[in-house]
Amino acid sequence: MTFRTRVLFLPLVTAIAIAASFPVYAQVKTVVLVHGAFADGSGWKPVADILQGHGYSVRVVQEPETSFAADVAATSRVLEKAGPCVLVGHSYGGSIITEVGTLANVRSLVYVAGFQPDVGESVDELANKMPPAEKSVAPVGDGFVAVNIDAFAADFAPDAPKPLVRFMAISQVPTSVAAFGAKTTIAAWKQKSSYAVVATQDRMINPDLERFVAKRAGSQVIELQGSHAIFLSHAREVAALIEKAAREAK
């Protein structure tokens, strides 16, 4: 090798060595969506349609809302088959992704008008710190609660299409009271990058509580003027934040 060849070759070797010392991450292209209380996975359809139209693979968890342990287990089963992904939780679903989000294939977390409990906290404890405006959640028997059908539109989704909201009200999934009292044992947001949507007109969760938990978690936050059903009224903005989380995931 001549002196000139060595001069040209050595910088190339050095550059390759430096590049090899840094991990290379492929953009995450899978999103797992976890619904909240009193709802099911079908509410995610507008967001899922946008994400799929942009080339993402989407998985929607249908957790039973019978207990926190059962909901975490249902989410874990989906995650086991998902590969590298962004994990998204709405409302009570935020507590679920906080518990299960430390799995290795979860690259980042997105909270949509959601709870972000710390270790030892429950949804009930957080809600009691800053109570919501709603007064419509009531017992329906066997240790379950639901939103009063006649108040569902005003409290849960006043800015969503009325025919859809009426169907959501009559098809809502009652949620176990015990699930709201279950204490989180892991806070995934301490280990993973997190993002959060604050719904400024939310009546089911106090918007100030959403701000508090997002700030505590160090989440990247956007605020959207809308109700608890912000995933319906601002599906494009919610999808855009999820895509941002996917692009920045490591």
DSSP β-bridge partners for residue 144: 141, 176
17 in any annotated domain: no
Mean pLDDT of 236-243: 98
Domain that holds residue 164: 26-248
Band (9; pLDDT cuts 50, 70, 90)? very low
Mean pLDDT of 9-38: 63
Total structural domains within the chain: 1
In whole angstroms, what is the distance from residue 245 CA to residue 42 CA?
22
pLDDT at 250: 82
18 in any annotated domain: no
Both tokens of 98, joined, read: 């906080």
6 in any annotated domain: no
Write the CATH number for 198. Answer: 3.40.50.1820
Query: What's the start-to-end Cα distance of the chain, in Å?
Result: 40
Band (108; pLDDT cuts 50, 70, 90)? very high
19 in any annotated domain: no
Q: Are 164 and 84 in contact (CB under 8 A)?
A: no
Mean pLDDT of 113-140: 98
181 in any annotated domain: yes
> For residue 6, which phi and psi values (nearest 5 degrees)?
-65, -40
- Run of H or E including 21: none
Strand 106-112 and strand 85-90: pairing? parallel
Q: Are 168 and 43 in contact (CB under 8 A)?
A: yes
Quick check: 183 pLDDT over 90?
Answer: yes
User: Exposed, middle or buried, 231 (CB in 10 Å: 0-12/13-18/19+)?
Assistant: buried
pLDDT at 27: 81
pLDDT at 26: 59
In whole angstroms, what is the distance from residue 11 CA to residue 208 CA?
54
12 in any annotated domain: no
Band (132; pLDDT cuts 50, 70, 90)? very high
With a CB cutoff of 8 Å and minimum separation 6, the contacts of 73 are none
How many degrees, rounded to 5, is the angle at CA 138 between CA 137 and CA 140? 130
In whole angstroms, what is the distance from residue 138 CA to residue 132 CA?
14
128-136: list long-range contacts, CB under 8 Å, 24+ apart.
Answer: 129/209, 129/212, 130/206, 130/208, 130/209, 130/212, 131/206, 132/202, 132/203, 132/204, 132/205, 132/206, 132/209, 133/203, 133/206, 134/203, 134/204
Distances (CA, A) of 48 to 19, 67, 109, 160, 243: 36, 26, 16, 17, 11
Quick check: 16 pLDDT over 80?
Answer: no
pLDDT at 2: 52
User: Mean pLDDT score of the chain, rounded to an integer?
Assistant: 92
pLDDT at 178: 98
142 in any annotated domain: yes
172 in any annotated domain: yes
